[in-house]
Each structure stands twice: as C-alpha cells, then as structure tokens.
Amino acid sequence: MRFLRHELSRSLVTHWKSNLMLLLEMALCVLVVFVLLYNVSVAAANANWYKTTVSDVNRYQLYLAEEPSESTDQILRSEGEAILQTIKKNSSWRFYQWLRTGFGVPINEDGSYQLPAIFESGYEDGIHIEANDELGLQALKCAYFTPEVFDVYELTVSEGNLFSQADYTYHQGQPYPVILGSEYQEFFDVGDIIDGTLYLEHDQLVVIGFLHSGSFIASPGVSTLVPLDRYIIFPYFDETVLADGTIQHDPLGKTVGAFLWEGTLVVTDPTIDVQKEMNRITNTYGFPAIQCAQYTGSSIKSAEIISQRNVALLSALALVIISLSILSIGMLLNRRTRIDLQTYGMYLISGILPGRIYLVKAAELLIFAALSILPSVWLSYLQFQRLVVPPWQLLCISVPILFVSALPAQKLISRVNLDQIIRRKSQ
C-alpha cells in the first residue's frame, strides 16, 4: 500500500499535464461512445421492436369515408356501438384503439416546472410548450389505451401492474389509474397520487405501474415509432360509475373515435380482403363506408431498414473512434513511461518487483477510466435527468481502451535495462 500510495501520487503529480490530456481524450472518447451507445440502443430497440411486433403484421387504420354530417351522426348514435362490437368480434383481425391527449400538472409557486420540460407534450418535435401562467399548468403527454394495445405491442411493466378489467370502469371522484413511462420512475413510485387537470380543475391520478424502458407503439401516418418512456397511459374507459352509483354508459365518444383515426385493425388472417369484409359489416347496418387504410407496408419496412442501418453505421463509427483513441492514448502513455523509466529502474534496483509496478499502473488506469465516464454521466443527467447508459457499460468501454492503450507502455517497463540505467546514471 505504501508503494501504491507513493507511486500513484508521484505519477499523478509529476505528469499532471499529460494526465490531464489523457483524461480529456478519454472523456471525449467515452462521451462519443456514450452518445453512440445511446443511439445504438434506441435504434436497436426500434429494430428489434419492428421485427417482433410490426414488420410481420398487416395494420389498417379505420376512418369514415365521408365527413360526419347530421345523418351520419344519427346513425352513429343508433348503430355505431353495434358496428364497433361486430368489428371487435371479427376473428380475422384484432381491433384496438388509442387516443393521444394531455394532462396538466401545476407549476410550482416559484414558476419552475414540477417535472422537467422533457415530459412536455411536443418536446420530441422540438416544440416547447410554454408554461401557461394563467392556468399555471404544464402539459404532459398522455394516451388512452384499450386493453388490446398492451397485447398487440407486447407492452409490459417493469414495476407495478398493467390495468385490470376493473380499471376500464371509472368511478367518479376516484383517482384515475395510470401507468407511467419508464422515465417517470425517477420521480414517482407505485401508489403515488399526481394532482393535475384532466377534465376538471382538480383531478388525481394514481400510479399503478411503470412500463419497461424502450416501449413503443406505432402511429398511423408516422414512419417512426412513438416512444412511451415519457407518456402517461390511461385506460380507455368503457363506462363511468357516477357518485350516486348510476352507471353512465356513453359509448358515442369512443365509437366516433374508433371510426375517426383512433381505430386500428391488426389482421391475423392473411387471406382476408379487409376492405371487402368491412364493407360487408357496414352494409349490414346500412352504415356509411369505413375506409381501411393499410399503414404497415413500405413506411414501416423502410424505417426498420434505416434503423438497422443506423445500428451498423453507429457501431462502425464507434469502432473507428475507439481505435483512434487507443492509438493516441497509447502514444501518450508510452511517452510518459519513457520519462519514468529511470524511476522504475531505481524501484527495481531497490528490490521492488515488476509486478508491483504493473499493479500501480493498473490502479492508475482504473482511476482514469472511472474519472473519464463522469462527463458522460453529467451529460446524461443534464439531457435525460437519468442515466440512459449504465455506468458499467461506459466502464466496459473505458477500461479496455485504457488497458489496450497501455500495452506498449507495459512492454516498455518489462524491458527496463537496469545495466544501461546504472551506466547512464554513472556517466
């Protein structure tokens, strides 16, 4: 320990300039790799998700062929629910419905947000929703999901539970059960109550679970996926139990939504003509035509290919950067070791074994490896308020880079020629 302490402090102080340079280079390298790793992980998750849940299925979005009018409104009221139930029961496909909305959480008295801005609706699109000072609210991203959405997209929770059947009935005055995206996990626990505004000025949500990180769903008209990590998920309620016990069953809103862009079919029978089958159903009820627009074809396929290409490109770029860093850091360590050869020679003459010197050098490299990940950790917290790439993954990059870079320097130490050192000193 005495030797370790002495040699570490000597080396850190004597070579402070090259140490600083080394640390900067390493930090930069880890930072680049961190960004790449993050993107690779997102792209890989996308690619994997496409492969498992999207690419092999046919997806159709439903919408009314004609603009809603008085006559369609009337028929929707009278026949809409029956048609929706018929569509749901058809064994040729699976029907699901989801709706994007917003939930307002109050802004603190000092004007700061209760939650970081990244949770705001529109944040991913580069649109920062300014705090509404009059209402004093911050708009968060929400979505209502019917139960099928969780099955179709294989959505599971990392903590807590998914919605039970009972959760699809809302009890007036009770908090709304919600499942939060994984990034909320840092701020809330299962069972927490979140105050805010959904329909009324003061609504409450109760957290029942958290989705796994990297959960997505597909969205019609958008070739990329919708990441759910920053979403609040509500059950798409079937009915409401009022305070006096009356059950309010008002399916109109949900039915209208189902035929106006919210409803999606995932076709399970590849032999079926989807539009023909839909026409058969609507004709039975004398209902206006419902168009079935396929959206899983080329747009999602091409997104999958782009996603996979991104993984390959980013990985190649990471390899190039790591190789360059190894070269550069290797030269730096080599130069530093040459300066120290005389000292190492003195250690060896004094009876200190080479293994001890290697041990100290290894400890020094581990310190550098640990320090070099700090900027990435800082950036992660700054950008995402959490560690998007675990520190052990960053260490898995920084430690091998440093140890491979140090190989020539280590070889140099192993070849210290004491005879030459003694003679040089004696001249």
Partner 1 sequence: MSLVTLKGIHRYYGSEKNKTHVLRDLDLVLEKNEMLAIRGKSGSGKTTLLNIIGGIDFANSGEYFFLDQPLVLRNQSDAAKFRKKHIGVIVQHFALLDDLSAYENISMALWTQRISQKELKNRVETLMDELEILPLKQQLPSELSGGEKQRVAIARALIRKPDILLADEPTGALDEETERQIMAILKRYHREGNTLVIVTHDESIASNCSRQIHIRDGQVV
202 binds partner 1 (CB under 8 A): no
Helix%, strand%, coil% for the chain, nearest 5: 55, 20, 25
171 binds partner 1 (CB under 8 A): no
412 binds partner 1 (CB under 8 A): no
Q: Do the beta carbons of residue 190 and residue 207 sit within 8 Å?
A: yes
Among 142, 218, 228, 416, binds partner 1 (CB under 8 A): 416
Q: Do the beta carbons of residue 252 and residue 80 sit within 8 Å?
A: yes
Shortest Å, Cβ 22 to partner 1: 21
Segments in 50-138 forming alpha helices (H): 70-89
Shortest Å, Cβ 350 to partner 1: 4
Total number of residues that touch partner 1 (CB under 8 A): 26
Phi, psi dihedral angles at 214 (to 5 degrees):
85, 25
Beta bridge partners of 365: none
Which residue type sits at 81?
E
Phi, psi dihedral angles at 56 (to 5 degrees):
-95, 5
Segments in 90-161 forming alpha helices (H): 147-152
Report the C-alpha gap between 181 and 230 in whole angstroms: 5
Residues 323-382 that bind partner 1 (CB under 8 A): 343, 346-356
Shortest Å, Cβ 325 to partner 1: 29
221 binds partner 1 (CB under 8 A): no
Neighbours of 290 (CB within 10 A): 19
197 binds partner 1 (CB under 8 A): no
Report the C-alpha gap between 57 and 265 in whole angstroms: 10
Q: Compare residues 112 and 342 and give the one whose CB is closer to partner 1.
A: 342
Q: Compare residues 100 and 425 and give the one whose CB is closer to partner 1.
A: 425
Shortest Å, Cβ 399 to partner 1: 24
Beta bridge partners of 217: 226
18 binds partner 1 (CB under 8 A): no
The residue written with tokens 């989705």 in the block is 211
Q: Which stretch binds partner 1 (CB under 8 A): 186-194, 276-284, 393-401, 411-419?
A: 411-419
Per-position x/- string for 28-67, each x denoting binding to partner 1 as judged by CB under 8 A, each - no binding: ----------------------------------------
419 binds partner 1 (CB under 8 A): yes
Binding site for partner 1 (CB under 8 A): 2-3, 6, 10, 14, 343, 346-356, 414-416, 418-419, 422-423, 425-426
